[in-house]
């Protein structure tokens, strides 16, 4: 199964579905960003024809305690209920997109792919679609409920109590900005810094100037600068578990399977007693939460 599609590939899939020579294609609009977490207003103004809006904050995460991080993973039953509400059926091809360099769409990709769904990300998002002069729609799309059954989807996760042991045997990537990694900028977390031993490689290093993901050979060179190649055990974290899944997608495109620490820094920094490294080096100046 592919992990991303271009606009041309999406149109090909849609035409195949229309002619009965391919599975149904379901479009999901995952408009979200840190400074504007509710993307529905933008969705209502313009979206790909037939696309259903997905609320990242409420459908791709659940409300939890600070010690769980800002975006805890949704419960399996809740995710399946949401997926059926988006109109998904077993066997569908799901294509997710956004207007934020595929970061929120990658969250949906990661959650549904580990649950056995053929889900792909539209490379370049809605901007790539409109750049081709293709039609857009206004208003809401309310599909008939689907009957999809999500599989277990329990793999690919690194839990809080597994992080330090993993760091001793693999590469732990911190994909936040250098300012957040070093502790110079704390954002909304109680302390700044990074998990001791983590290597900084900002998520946006994998994105080209037009908002698309870099080509696989370029991605492999980028990850090699952080000591990651096809034979490396690697786990990824970010601020709250969204951008980490974008890097997991980029790693997958380069042929590298990664674990994700979903709690990320928002969980680590809210858990008393956890070690913290401050500065630009992986070990840094050590302190504790």
Indicate if 238 belongs to the active site. Answer: yes
Q: Structure pTM?
A: 0.96
Give the torsion through C-alpha atoms of 113, 86, 241, 61, to 10 deg: -130
pLDDT, greater one: 170 or 37: 170
Out of 30, 83, 235, 238, the active site residue is 238
The confidence score (pLDDT) of residue 47 equals 98
Q: Is the pLDDT of residue 240 over 80?
A: yes
Percent of the chain's residues with pLDDT above 90: 93
Alpha carbon distances (Å) from 253 to 10, 76, 138, 247: 18, 26, 33, 10
Considering only 34-38, 75-79, 89-93, 239-243, which range has the smallest mean pLDDT? 34-38
What CA–CA distance (Å, rounded) separates 185 from 93? 40
The confidence score (pLDDT) of residue 186 equals 79
What CA–CA distance (Å, rounded) separates 96 from 108? 7
What CA–CA distance (Å, rounded) separates 222 from 226? 7
pLDDT tens by residue, 137-160: 999 999 999 999 999 767 899 999
The confidence score (pLDDT) of residue 153 equals 67
Q: And the tokens for 254?
A: 């380069």
Tell the residue number behind the tokens 């492999």, with chain if given. Answer: 220
């Amino acid at each position: 199964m592919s992990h991303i599609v271009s606009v041309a590939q999406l149109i090909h899939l849609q035409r195949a579905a229309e002619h009965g020579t391919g599975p149904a294609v379901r479009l999901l609009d995952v408009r979200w960003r840190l400074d504007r977490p509710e993307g529905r207003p933008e969705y209502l103004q313009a979206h790909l024809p037939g696309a259903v809006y997905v609320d990242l904050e409420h459908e791709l995460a659940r409300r939890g305690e600070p010690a769980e991080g800002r975006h805890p993973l949704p419960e399996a039953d809740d995710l399946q209920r949401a997926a059926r509400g988006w109109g998904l059926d077993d066997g569908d091809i799901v294509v997710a997109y956004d207007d934020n360099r595929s970061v929120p769409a990658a969250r949906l990709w990661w959650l549904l792919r580990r649950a056995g769904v053929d889900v792909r990300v539209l490379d370049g998002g809605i901007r790539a679609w409109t750049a081709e002069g293709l039609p857009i729609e206004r208003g809401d799309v309310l599909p008939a409920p689907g009957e999809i059954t999500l599989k277990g989807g329990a793999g690919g996760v690194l839990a809080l109590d597994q992080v330090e042991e993993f760091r001793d045997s693999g590469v732990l990537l911190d994909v936040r900005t250098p300012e957040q990694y070093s502790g110079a900028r704390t954002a909304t977390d109680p302390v700044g810094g990074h998990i001791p031993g983590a290597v900084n490689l900002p998520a946006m290093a994998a994105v080209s100037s037009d908002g698309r993901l870099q080509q696989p050979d370029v991605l492999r060179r980028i990850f090699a600068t952080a000591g990651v190649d096809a034979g490396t055990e690697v786990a990824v974290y970010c601020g709250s578990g969204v951008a980490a899944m974008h890097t997991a997608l980029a790693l997958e495109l380069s042929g590298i399977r990664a674990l994700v620490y979903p709690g990320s820094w928002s969980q680590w920094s809210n858990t008393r007693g956890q070690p913290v490294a401050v500065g630009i080096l992986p070990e840094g100046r050590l302190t504790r939460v």
